[in-house]
Structure 1
Amino acid sequence: MPLQLFSRIPGRPTFPTWRQPRAGLWAVAGLAGLGFLIALEIAARHYGLPGPITTQAQEVVLAPKSGPLLYASMALMMVVLTWRERFIAVGAAIGIDIVFVLVRWAAGVEAAEGHPFGNGALWVMLGCGVIALTRRTGPERVLLLKGVGLGLLLVAGRKTGDTWLLITSKTRPVVLDQYVATADHALGDPSWLAGRVIEAAGPVPAHVLDWVYAQLAVAAVVFALYQLRHVATERRFPRHHLVRTFLAVGVLGPGIYMIFPVVGPVFAYGTGAFGTGGEHWALANLWPDVLPPSSNPQPMLYDGITPRNCMPSLHTAWATVIFIHSRRAPRFLRFAGTFWLVATLSATLGFGYHYGADLLVGVVFAITVEAALRSLARGWDRSATQLVAYGTTVFTALLLSYRYLSTDMAGRPWVFGPLLLLATASVIYGYVRTTRAWDPKPAPVRRPEPLLELV
C-alpha cells in the first residue's frame, strides 16, 4: 500500500484549540488496557491456552476465527478516512485476502477452524496505524489513531471475552443454576416455553435466530457506522456513541459471571449444546419439555469447559444498547434495532442459553452502563447520579433475590413475578424520563399567521 496515498491532504480542517485531545488521559487509558490484556494473557497461559494477545497476533498470518468481525472492525476504522482512502483500504484488504487464500491453497493448508478471509482487514488496520505514526501529524494523527484503536478494540473485545469465558469455566467449578431456575418460576419459566415454540416452528426460524444471535457484534457496527458517519467531515468523534457502551458492557459483564456463575438451562437441565457434555453434568434431561423442580435449590458442580456466562445475559444487554441507540436513527434503522432486540431475546430463551431472570438483569445492566457513560460525556449532575445509583441498586437486588429468595419467589409467583417486571420497568422508565430531560426535543417552529388585509 503506497504510504503517500494516506498522506495528509492539504486543506483539511483542523481542530480548534479547545478540542485538542488530552494526551495524558489517553496514555493512562492505553496503559491500563494493555495491562488488562497482559493479565488475561498470563491467566490463559496458566491454563495452557493462548490469551487474547496471542490469538490476535496469530490472525495476522493464520486463518482468522473472526473474519466477518475483522471486516466490520475495518469498516468502523474507516469512518475517519475520506472516500478515496476508503476505496483504497477496501481494495487493499481484498487483495491481501486473495493472496492469503492462494498461498494456503498452494501450500495445501485448509482454514479448518477459521474463515478464509479477514487477514486483509487486520493488515489494513495495522497499516493505517503505522501510517498515522509516520505520515500524519497533530490532530490528523490523533484522529486516525482513534479510528484504528476503535476498530482494533472491537476485535480485542471479542478475544478478551473468549479468555474471560475460559477463566470462568476453570475458576468456578460450582454453578447456581438451580437457584435461577427456581426463581424463574415466578416469571412463568419463559425459557422452557420459548424452547418448545422454537422446536415447533421448524428449522427456518431457528436458523434465522441463530444467525441474529451470532452476528450481534456486526449489527452493532452497522448502527455505529450511522452514528459516526460525519466523523470524516467534522474531523472529530461524537462525545458518546454506541461502541463505547458496547465495549464497556463486554468488559464489565464477565466480572459478574465470576460472582454469579450460571451455565444456562440447556446445559444444567438438558443435553448440552455443541458437544460440550451437558448430558453428563446436567441435573436431569428436562429442558424444554419438563419444568425443573421448585424446591430445595443447591449449588451444583459442573464441568471445567462450559463458560459460566449467563448472569447477566450480555447478548440481551448488547441488543438493548443497540435498541437504545437506534431510537434517533431513520425509520428503517429503528425497525432494525427493534427486530434485533426481539430476535435476540427469542434466541437466548428459545435455544436454552438463558433463563428469563438473566434477561431482566441484562436489561438493567445495559441501561445502567449506558446512563453512566452518557453522564461521563455530558457531565454528571444530580439526575445522572440518581439514575446510575438506582440502576445499580435494582441490579444488586435482583441478584440477591435470585440467590436467597428463589424458593419464596417460586411459591408466590403472583407476587414476585410482577415485582420483578416492575423493578425492571422502573429502571427503563427512569432512563427514559431522565434522558428526555437531558436531550429535550426542540420546540416546533410556528409559522406566522397571515395578516388579514383590511378592505
Structure 2
Amino acid sequence: MRHIPPQDLSRTSRRTAFSGWRRARAGLWAAAAVTTLGFLVALEFAARHHGVPGPITNQVREVVFAPKSGGLLYAAMALMTVVLTWRQRLVAVGAAVGVDLAFLVVRWAVGAGTDGGHPFGNGALWVVLACAVIAVTRRTGRERVLLLKGVGLALLLVAGRKTGDTWLFITSKTRPVVLDQYVATADHALGNPSWLVGRVVTATGPVGFNFLDFVYGQLAVAAVVVALYQLRRVAVEGRFPGHHLVRTFLVIGLLGPAFYMIYPVVGPIFAYGTGTEHWAAVSLWAEDMPPSEPWAVADLWPHTPPPLVPPHPMPFDGITPRNCMPSLHTAWATAIFIHTRKGPRVLRFAGTFWLIATLAATLGFGYHYGADLLAGVVFTLTIEAALRASDRGWDRSGVRLVVHGATVFAALLVSYRFLPSEMAERPWLYGPLLVLVTASVVLGYVRTTALWEPGAAPVRRPEPQPELT
C-alpha cells in the first residue's frame, strides 16, 4: 500500500471538501432559482384566476409602460451596481437617465400619460436587463457569476414588490372572514396602543401625518441605503458577504405573507374605522367589490376603543388586504435597525430613527394593532438568527435561539386567537407577560449573536477523510 504523507492527506481532504461544498452550493442556488420561478408562475396563474394580471405580467409591462414605483427600480439598479466599477456605475446611471428621458419625450409626443404610474424608472429596469445580457454574452468565470448575482439581487427586490402586491390581492379574495375582533380584544392587555398613538398622530395634523407617511412609504429605499453600505466592497473583493440585509428582507417578504392566509386581519382603521372607504377609492380592484359586503364594525378608531365583548370571526370586503399579522413593516424596520448597529454613527442613528418612526406610523395610521408589532419583532429576530446560524454554521446556541423564537411566535398567535378575552380581562397579568416573552427573544438574540462575533470561533463541520489506497 502506497504511503501518503500527512500534509498531502490534509491537502487532499481540503480539496475534496471544497469541491463537495461548491457542488452543494451550486445545487442550492439552482433549487432556489427553480423554486422562485415556480412560485412566481403559481402566483401568476392564481391572479389570472381572479381576473387580474400577476407579478410576471406586471413586471414585463414596466419595460415599456410607466412603472408603479420608479424609485424602487432605481434603488434596485443601485443595488446591482455594487458589483460594478465606478466607471461602470456612472455609465449605468447615465444610460438609465437617458432611456427615461427618451421615454418621457415619446410619451409627450404621442400624448400618452403615465396611467397613475411614475414618469421615470423604465431606464433603470432596462439597465438591469442589459447587464444580464452582458453577463451572459460578454463575461466569463467569476466576473459572469458576480454580475449575474448583482442582477439577480436587483430583480429579486423588484419581484418581491410585485409578488407582495399580488399576494395581498389574493388574501382579500380568498379570506372573506377576518379575525380582527380577536386581536383587538387581546390588544386591551397592551392598553390599545393603536388607539392611543392614533390620537397623537391625529393631533399633529397634516405635518406629522405626511412626515410619517413618507417614512412608512420609503422603507424599501432605506433598506437599499443600508444594503449599499454593507455591500460597498463587493466589486473590490469579488464576492458578496455571507450575510447582509437584503437576504433578511427577502426571506421576511417570502415567509411573512403565508401567515396572512393563516391569520387574516385587516387592521383597526379598516375594521373599526373608515379606512375601507379610502382603500376602495384608491384600489385598483375596487370595481370588483360587491357593494353589499360588510365593511367596518363601527366608526370607533382612534377615539373610542372597541368594547369588551366575546370576539367572533367577521366577514369583510373583497378588496382590503389581510396583511396585519405579523406586521411586516415592523419586521423590516427591525431588520434595518439590527443591520445598522455596526455601521457608522449616522447609519446607527438612521436605523434607530426609522424603527421608531415606522412603529409610530403603523400604529398611528391604524394599520396595525400592538399585538401585530410584537409578533413582527419576534418573527424578524427568528429569521435573522436562522440566517446568521446558517451562514456561520449551526451549533447548539443557534438551534436553541431559532426554536425559542419560533415557539414564542407561535404562542403569540395562538394566544391572540384562543385567549383574547382572558387577556383583556387581566391586562395587569397578560400585558407584562406579552412584553416579557418578546423581550426574552430579544435578549436571547443579543446574547447569542454576541457569541458569534468575529472573535468567537466559528463552527467547523467535519471534513471528509480520503481513503488510503
TM-score with structure 1 length normalisation? 0.92
Q: Is contact 1:271-1:277 (8 Å) kept?
A: no
Query: What is the deviation of 1:273?
Result: 4.9
| Residue 162 of structure 2 corresponds to residue 159 of structure 1 | yes
Alignment of 1:337-352 (within 5 A): 337-352=351-366
Deviation string, structure 1 residues 47-106 (Cα, Å, up to 9, x no partner) = 000000000000000000010000000000000000000000000000000000100010
Q: Is contact 2:276-2:295 (8 Å) kept?
A: no
How far apart are the structure 1 equivalents of 2:232 and 2:367?
A: 35
Q: Is contact 1:20-1:139 (8 Å) kept?
A: no
Q: Is contact 2:198-2:366 (8 Å) kept?
A: yes
| Residue 143 of structure 2 corresponds to residue 129 of structure 1 | no
Alignment of 1:55-94 (within 5 A): 55-94=58-97
Q: Which residue of 1 aligns with 2:149?
A: 146
Query: What is the deviation of 1:202?
Result: 1.6
Deviation string, structure 1 residues 155-177 (Cα, Å, up to 9, x no partner) = 00000001110110011000000
| Residue 391 of structure 2 corresponds to residue 388 of structure 1 | no
Alignment of 1:175-324 (within 5 A): 175-273=178-276, 275-277=278-280, 281-324=295-338
Letter in 2 for 1:149: G
Alignment of 1:286-435 (within 5 A): 286-435=300-449
Q: 1:351 to 1:273 in 2, by over 3 A?
A: farther
Letter in 2 for 1:323: F
Q: Which residue of 1 aligns with 2:288?
A: none
Deviation string, structure 1 residues 300-347 (Cα, Å, up to 9, x no partner) = 000010000000000000000000000000000000000000000000
Query: What is the deviation of 1:376?
Result: 1.1
2:275 aligns to what SS in structure 1? coil
2:403 aligns to what SS in structure 1? helix
How far apart are the structure 2 equivalents of 1:333 and 1:143?
A: 27
1:275 aligns to what SS in structure 2? helix
Deviation string, structure 1 residues 109-134 (Cα, Å, up to 9, x no partner) = 11131000000000000000000000
Q: 1:140 to 1:419 in 2, by over 3 A?
A: same
How far apart are the structure 1 equivalents of 2:92 and 2:374?
A: 41
Once the two structures are overlaid, the 10-residue window that deviates more, 21-30 or 64-73, is 21-30
Q: Is contact 2:294-2:316 (8 Å) kept?
A: no
Letter in 2 for 1:186: A
Q: Which residue of 1 aligns with 2:465?
A: none
Q: Is contact 2:272-2:300 (8 Å) kept?
A: yes
Q: Is contact 1:74-1:125 (8 Å) kept?
A: yes
How far apart are the structure 1 equivalents of 2:183 and 2:71?
A: 34
How far apart are the structure 2 equivalents of 1:280 and 1:61?
A: 39
2:279 aligns to what SS in structure 1? coil
Q: Is contact 2:185-2:311 (8 Å) kept?
A: yes
Query: What is the deviation of 1:276?
Result: 2.8
Q: Is contact 1:177-1:263 (8 Å) kept?
A: yes
Q: Is contact 2:328-2:376 (8 Å) kept?
A: yes
How far apart are the structure 2 equivalents of 1:274 and 1:70?
A: 30
CA RMSD of aligned residues (A): 1.8
How far apart are the structure 1 equivalents of 2:279 and 2:338?
A: 34
Q: Which residue of 1 aligns with 2:451?
A: 437
Query: What is the deviation of 1:18?
Result: 8.3
Query: What is the deviation of 1:431?
Result: 0.2
Once the two structures are overlaid, the 10-residue window that deviates more, 213-222 or 432-441, is 432-441
Q: Is contact 2:43-2:54 (8 Å) kept?
A: yes
Q: Which runs of 5 or more residues in structure 2 are unaligned?
A: 1-18, 282-292, 457-469
Query: What is the deviation of 1:204?
Result: 1.0
Letter in 2 for 1:270: G
Q: 1:250 to 1:89 in 2, by over 3 A?
A: same
How far apart are the structure 1 equivalents of 2:28 and 2:414?
A: 36
Q: 1:387 to 1:429 in 2, by over 3 A?
A: same
Query: What is the deviation of 1:23?
Result: 2.9
How far apart are the structure 1 equivalents of 2:232 and 2:429?
A: 47
How far apart are the structure 1 equivalents of 2:193 and 2:390?
A: 36
| Residue 153 of structure 2 corresponds to residue 170 of structure 1 | no
TM-score with structure 2 length normalisation? 0.89
Alignment of 1:12-31 (within 5 A): 22-31=25-34
Q: 1:293 to 1:273 in 2, by over 3 A?
A: same
How far apart are the structure 1 equivalents of 2:58 and 2:280?
A: 25
1:380 aligns to what SS in structure 2? coil
Percent identity reads 72
Letter in 1 for 2:87: R
Q: Which residue of 2 aligns with 1:38?
A: 41
Letter in 1 for 2:135: A
Query: What is the deviation of 1:440?
Result: 5.4
Alignment of 1:86-105 (within 5 A): 86-105=89-108
How far apart are the structure 1 equivalents of 2:148 and 2:96?
A: 18
Query: What is the deviation of 1:438?
Result: 0.7
